[in-house]
Structure 1
Amino acid sequence: MPLLFAYRRWWCFAFIGLLLLPTLGLVMPDLKAPIRTVQTVPPAWWIQATERLDPYINNNYGFRGLFMGAHAAYSKFMKSTRERPVLIGQKGQIFYTGEKALDQSLGRIFRTDQVERLVRVTDRMRDVLKARGITFAMVVPPNGQSVMPDLLPAWAQTEQKRPTEYDSVAATLPARGTAFADLRPELTAAREEGPVYRRTDTHWNNRGAVLGFNAAMRAAGRPELQVPESEALGPLTPTATGDLARYLGETSETGDLDYPPKGPMVQPANLKPLPGLMPATRGNDPFEGYAYETGHAGPRILVIGDSFSQSFWPGLLARNASAFGWTHHRNCRFEWSVIDRFKPDIVIYAPVERAITCLGSPAGLDMK
């Protein structure tokens, strides 16, 4: 047969060798790779094998780390994000696009019904809390692309439309009597003196968090509770890459920049926990609430927020509050009874921009 001609036999051996490489990879050293979520072959895998066996093969093929690293490097070089919820902008800035955040910031979507639900919830919160003598204010940490539109790819910059959902909320709530801080102008202006968002992370950096906290205190009519940047932050320092970089296989201990927290931004170790005041979380829910007494005079402050305040604000709150607490907003479905238990003097409602729309039936409308 022509296939077995001598000069073709070596190609046959080479082809078989390539097919055996993944098998050799099962016993040879490999590069570090994400954890294998399927460790064993499922029972009766031969029944509907494509559904039962494929997850095991995808987690355990030879040279898995090498192939995944090579693919991540290629995707990064080509600036390909495929189905990942990220967008690579100018100067290497990575933007989160999940939960329609990009379309929201560009004004390409406007969910009227959900924005109206938010207005009703905040109206009700303001009125109920005011009747109890509790100060209420709202701040909205912007999506990164709302503060850094100049770093979006050129095609995205041409898609900007007005008004956005943030525009509508920022105009509507103050007109209805709700204390509201539009953080976009301040954070945008602050970029002239240094970054306010991480390059590789969904979140603002420590400096952005301090600016957002201070804006919240001013909106609540308590400017004396602000914390100066100079007291809370060290100099800009290399830091590890964040959550968005992991989508692209980019990991580095010095691949990003941030201002290390110091002084009042570091949570004190001598705080007294107040158990049972915040709603319990289930399973591996990362948004576990907390409440503490500080041991000194000051207002009791409750923040209803998300990851933009959960781990960024405890030290800032502890500096001047007699007690402070944090619970997740749950897209307007937060547990209202937390206010009854904690008895705050000030309530700050602080959902990130992509979460300002209320999904479903907000619990906030059932306040008493």
Structure 2
Amino acid sequence: MVEKRKLSKLPKLPVNIKEIEQFPAMFNRYYADHFGLRELLTHYYKMLKYSIGDSSSEHVTIGKNGWLFLGSIKNYYKGYSDPIGDVRNINLYSQQELEEFSLHINRLSDWLAKKGIQYIFIIAPNKHTIYFDQLPGDILKVNENSATDQLINYLREHSTVTQVDLRPALINAKQDHQLYYKTDTHWNGYGANIAQYEIMLEIEKLFPGKIQPELQNIEDLVFSGGDLANFIGIDINRIYAKPIF
């Protein structure tokens, strides 16, 4: 299936004046959805658009080297919390939002502490943040600091909650391995491996000797498709990483 929608059904033969008036438009919609080789032609049309960097979905931006990113640079776009606006540092927190976020985090931490539970606040970056260099060249940052930078800096001054910012480790590790799928929004086995290791390091500090942080051995397997590839109706095999146990 190349489109995420229900195709039009063959309309019943009209039996009254109103249905006769509606029948041509209904049949045209049916024919447009079911003419011969439609799925094959639609698939190759979308593959052609992908090959020239033209996305067939407003929710997907085609970057460099075949990378796909959720979101759009269009001014009116607000879908999926506008991830490209986020990575361009356009969508920033207000002072009130920072205060409310900090208050919520502190209350949650205090509530867990009363139950003997240590709370750790983890920043898990999206693909846009780690692979900003693979976005189209005309997508530029508007401000120096991001909303995440704002939040981390504010929490450092107004909270005692332990923080783990995964961004530096992932940015450093991407020099050796691909950490996110090209055609999907999520990180792959390598990315998850780095993330779990950084989190375990912080937990080990809180509970010395209780765990042994370690990076897992990873093998590459073929990955087909991806949520972003499905958005634009293409099917591409990619390599993905899987832990070896």
Normalising by the smaller structure, the TM-score range is 0.7 to 0.9
Residues in 1 aligned to 2:81 and 2:224: alpha-carbon distance in whole angstroms:
25
Query: Partners of 2:7 and 2:45 in 1: how far apart?
Result: 21
Residues 35 and 89 of structure 1: is their aligned pair in 2 closer, same or farther, counting only changes over 3 Å? closer
Deviations 1:129-153 (A, max 9, x none): 1122211111122111111122222
Shift in CA distance, 38/82, structure 1 to aligned 2, threshold 3 Å: closer
**2:219 aligned to 208, 211, 235, which one?**
235
Task: Write out per-residue CA displacement over residues 73-119 of structure 1, whole angstroms, 9 at most, x where no aligned residue.
Answer: 22112211154312222222211224200110110122435554433
Instruction: Name which structure has the greater RCO, CA cutoff 8 Å, separation 6+.
Output: 2
Code of the aligned partner of 2:234: E
CA change 1:237–1:54 in 2 (3 A) is same
Aligned length: 227
Alignment match, 1:125: 108
For residue 140 of structure 1, the aligned residue among 112, 123, 135 is: 123
SS at the partner of 1:235?
Answer: strand
Structure 2 counterparts to residues 271-310 of structure 1, below 5 A = none
For the pair 1:261 / 2:219, whether they are aligned, the reply is no
| Alpha-carbon distance in 2 for matches of 1:149, 1:237 | 25
| Partner residue, 1:203 | 186
Shift in Å, 1:70? 2.6
Taking only aligned residues, the RMSD between alpha carbons, in angstroms, comes to 2.9
1:216 aligns with 199
After TM superposition, list the pairs within 5 Å mapping 1:70-85 onto structure 2.
Answer: 70-85=44-59
Moved over 4 A (4+): 32-36, 42-45, 47-58, 113-116
Q: Give the percent of matched residue pairs that are identical in Structure 1 and Structure 2.
A: 22
Paired letter, 2:227: D
Q: Does 2:229 correspond to 1:245?
A: yes
Query: CA 1:226/1:54 → structure 2, altered by over 3 Å: closer, same or farther?
Result: farther
Larger C-alpha radius of gyration, 1 or 2? 1
Cα 1:36–1:81 change in 2 (3 A) is closer
Q: 1:89 aligns with which of 53, 56, 63?
A: 63
**1:40 matched to which residue of 2?**
9
Q: Normalising to structure 2: TM-score of the pair?
A: 0.78
Q: TM-score when scaled to structure 1?
A: 0.54
Query: Which of 17, 20, 40 is the aligned partner of 1:66?
Result: 40
Where 2:58 maps in the other structure, the secondary structure is coil
Aligned residue for 2:103, secondary structure, equals: helix
AA aligned to 2:132 is P
- Distance between the aligned counterparts of 2:91 and 2:24, measured in 1? 38
Residues 1:162 and 2:144 are matched in the alignment? yes
Q: Following the alignment from structure 1 to structure 2, what is the Cα–Cα distance between the partners of residues 227 and 49? A: 67
For structure 1, the residue ranges without an aligned partner over 5 or more in a row are: 1-31, 264-368
Q: Taking structure 1 as reference, are residues 39 and 153 closer, same or farther at Cα in structure 2, changes over 3 Å only?
A: closer
The amino acid across from 1:133 in the alignment is G
